[in-house]
A = this chain, B = another copy of it.
């Protein structure tokens, strides 16, 4: 038996590449997104009653993983890629049925003008993610007191202290806009989680790192537990020498 699903919408987010996306929903509240519903699901009636909820579940397709495949074991980045775990013991996107779930804060519902949009925060999803379903977060059923989280008992802490070079801070201020709100704070929170692959985190690093955020390139250098943002520039502008995440 097979089941065929069709996306009901698409999530637009600040994350225009995979590198740097927080590893779970809710870790960076400043990471915002918008779910745009496709017709015929974009009718305001289909959302009636949702305005009373603070959070929603978004079920989505893991996309951008290339050809779908699965292996019984995966190496979660959380464990530094050093320990293989059963795929069903992880939230990895490389799974038999590549469905993801994220509990996101529901910031607002925008209906009318020929479209229906849900503004969400705490996003951990790539821009363009196909959305399969939206459900209310039911605290009485979904918030399980005393649940034990195995190898992931604690939230990943802020691993790095983040500072901006004066020029980078100025660039950031200049590029902050309604389309790119709270940019300085967003970058600070994202880099504090240390998006580098764990196998590199121990390396002394003279080279910098880079990630794409919105239509911007963010560049930083790491020294011990300190990250220093060196540039925040429009993508394509003065690419300089930064490592691709897979280097």
Residues of A bordering B, CB below 8 Å: 1-8, 24-27, 41, 43-55, 57, 59, 61, 72-73, 84-91, 95-99, 101, 103, 130, 132-155
28 contacts between A and B (CB under 8 A): A1-B7, A3-B130, A24-B141, A43-B72, A45-B72, A46-B88, A47-B88, A49-B90, A50-B88, A52-B148, A53-B150, A54-B146, A55-B144, A55-B148, A59-B59, A88-B135, A91-B138, A95-B133, A97-B132, A101-B101, A103-B141, A136-B149, A137-B144, A137-B149, A140-B154, A142-B143, A143-B143, A143-B145
Give chain B residues whose Cβ lies under 8 Å from the Cβ of A3: 4-7, 61, 98, 130, 132
> Are B140 and A49 neighbours in the complex by a CB distance under 8 Å?
no
Copies of this chain, whole number:
2
> Are A47 and B142 neighbours in the complex by a CB distance under 8 Å?
no
